[in-house]
A and B are shown apart, each in its own frame.
Chain A
Amino acid sequence: GNSVTQTEGPVTLSEEAFLTINCTYTATGYPSLFWYVQYPGEGLQLLLKATKADDKGSNKGFEATYRKETTSFHLEKGSVQVSDSAVYFCALRGGSNYKLTFGKGTLLTVNP
């Protein structure tokens, strides 16, 4: 079945540091890939997505590129802010049933 593996947290950075959260996946066919973010006390929100190989998703300074050859979709941001502190989930949607499979989430804390 489909599965997603991402950086095990927690990840703690100083403001303006570079962020990478790794995400690799296992799926048959050509899945769509997503990053969702969960702020404290809230539900998840879609951060960015990519639907085919070599696509780059971007939003709010975050980027991720769909790499089929390495089955990866790593999340990056050049300069994190305190307000980026949240839990980040990598997810894939594969097959014909449109079900999303999520990774376990990575807690990011950014200190001033």
Chain B
Amino acid sequence: KAGVTQTPRYLIKTRGQQVTLSCSPISGHRSVSWYQQTPGQGLQFLFEYFSETQRNKGNFPGRFSGRQFSNSRSEMNVSTLELGDSALYLCASSDTSTNEKLFFGSGTQLSVL
């Protein structure tokens, strides 16, 4: 079974631009969560989708949004990028609605210049 796939692996953007990151969960997994990882703050929860519905949301500004498609693939979008948005964005999927075990992708490294 293929693992969680995130694209692109690396991304360089400038302030003010917007970006879309993609995540393909493991086949059959319906839960997808997104995390932002930075050296100073560690892993911070962005949002979670289950069967196309946003189930949980973290404390990020409205510039961060996401969605999940009927095939469970998910995208997250960041508009009006700021320098502080530079981070590793991790996607995780789960085969249960209770997130008993998360399977993480390798992440998308976003650099905002």
Interface residues, chain A, CB within 8 Å of chain B?
32, 36, 41-46, 49, 89, 93, 97-105
Contact = CB atoms under 8 A, between A and B. Distances in A.
Interface stretch (B14-22, B41-49, B61-69): B41-49
B56 A97 contact: yes
Given A43-B105, A43-B107, 8 more contacts: A42-B106, A44-B102, A46-B102, A49-B101, A97-B56, A98-B55, A99-B45, A99-B48
Interface of B: 4, 33, 35, 41-43, 45, 48, 55-56, 90, 92, 97-102, 104-107
Nearest to A96: B98
Contacts, number: 53
Contact of B43 (A41, A89, A93): A89
Nearest to B88: A43
A2 B101 CA distance: 19
